[in-house]
Structure 1
Amino acid sequence: MTRFAEPMARLIEELRKLPGIGTRSAQRLAFHILRSSTADAEALAGAVRDLKAQLRLCSVCNNITDVDPCVFCSSPTRNQRLVCVVEEPTNIAAVEKTRGYNGVYHVLHGTLSPLHGVGPEHLRTVNLLARVERGEVDELILATSPTVEGEATANYLADLLRPLRVRLTRIATGVPAGSDIEYVDEVTMTRALEGRREL
């Protein structure tokens, strides 16, 4: 068994906690950081510290932001009455890549997944409901991934929001079933948005 000095072992262990990073990748990253200049290593550490210290959730849409409200919610050029509901902040980038959407967003920060103990109370829907109840929304585009969890979440939201008399649409099935919306190319995402349907 390879024994590393305590600081190296600690860094490897911390890096292993990142998604998609196993022991070997963590070791490679740790040694890369070790070989980097002190300035580069400190810049990385500072970026991580700043990320945790300066970012928060937008009070309107739950997007990750350093200003509140976020750049989408505060934009005078965006259609504030058209809201695209996504699972995670990373999904916004997939929609934005299309350059065909000019509304705003609402981030749920997850999907329903009873097997993983994620129920409706874990989704960030309170401020979404408030926006709809105040009459600030004309249409909600439910852009959850076409997975079992994404579909369950879209159906839950549709049932929750339908009594509020807001137009509910679902992105079209141009997005492959079982895939994650984050990895969809621009053309597919554009077609999916254009082909959304009433729920």
Structure 2
Amino acid sequence: CALCASPRRNAAQLCVVETPADLVAVEQSGAYKGMYFVLMGHLSPLDGIGPDEMGVQKLQRLLESESIDEVILATNLTAEGQATADFLGELIRDLKVPVTRLARGLPIGGELEYLDHGTVTQAFEDRKFIV
């Protein structure tokens, strides 16, 4: 796409998202300046959506042919998004490419008393040292 064709992008980083709308959300944050791969969905065996329907072979060929230093999995925090990230993580690790997943947890401006238990639990599990 025109976005990834820009020489200002970091061609060594690849962010994998589920949909074009997810790409727009990441791009609007201004936090990421690398390349993108849009899956056009997530794994959903009950709906007949498997790796072939998401273009996983195209992603694999891209990773085998390009010099990528990191793949960032930015799938949604749903059961399907997590299953997709787990599947892709295994595939990408087998290709010997470092793979990361976006952090999960507390939203900026969020108040603990209004958050669901799963979000609070994930925030505790993904906590980082600050000193």
**TM superposition score category, shorter chain reference:** 0.7 to 0.9
> Match for 1:89 among 20, 34, 41?
20
Matches for 1:107-186 after TM superposition, within 5 Å: 107-174=38-105
Judging changes above 3 Å, is the alpha-carbon distance between structure 1 residues 97 and 122 closer, same or farther for their aligned structure 2 residues?
A: same
Distance 1:174 1:93 in 2: 21
Return the TM-score normalized by structure 1. Answer: 0.51
The structure 1 segments of at least 4 consecutive aligned residues displaced by more than 3 Å after TM superposition are none
Return the TM-score normalized by structure 2. Answer: 0.76
Distance 1:90 1:173 in 2: 19
Distance 2:58 2:70 in 1: 15
- Say whether 1:103 aligns with 2:42: no
The alignment's C-alpha RMSD in Å is 1.6
Distance 1:144 1:161 in 2: 15
State whether residues 79 and 103 of structure 1, in contact with CA within 8 Å, keep that contact through their aligned partners in structure 2: yes
> Which position in structure 1 is the counterpart of 2:119?
none
Distance 2:32 2:83 in 1: 24
Aligned to 1:136, the other structure's residue is in SS state coil
Distance 2:14 2:67 in 1: 10
Judging changes above 3 Å, is the alpha-carbon distance between structure 1 residues 148 and 72 closer, same or farther for their aligned structure 2 residues?
A: same
Bigger drift between 120-129 and 83-92 goes to 120-129
Query: 5+ unaligned residues in a row in structure 2: which ranges?
Result: 108-125, 127-131
Higher relative helix content: 1
Number of aligned residue pairs: 108
> Which position in structure 2 is the counterpart of 1:44?
none
Give the number of the structure whose alpha-carbon radius of gyration is greater: 1
Give the C-alpha shift of residue 71 in structure 1: 1.4
Aligned to 1:90, the other structure's residue is in SS state helix
Judging changes above 3 Å, is the alpha-carbon distance between structure 1 residues 133 and 170 closer, same or farther for their aligned structure 2 residues?
A: same
Aligned to 2:16, the other structure's residue is in SS state strand
Provide the identity percentage.
47
Amino acid at match of 2:20: P
With a CA cutoff of 8 Å and minimum separation of 6, indicate the structure with the bigger relative contact order.
2
Distance 1:127 1:120 in 2: 10
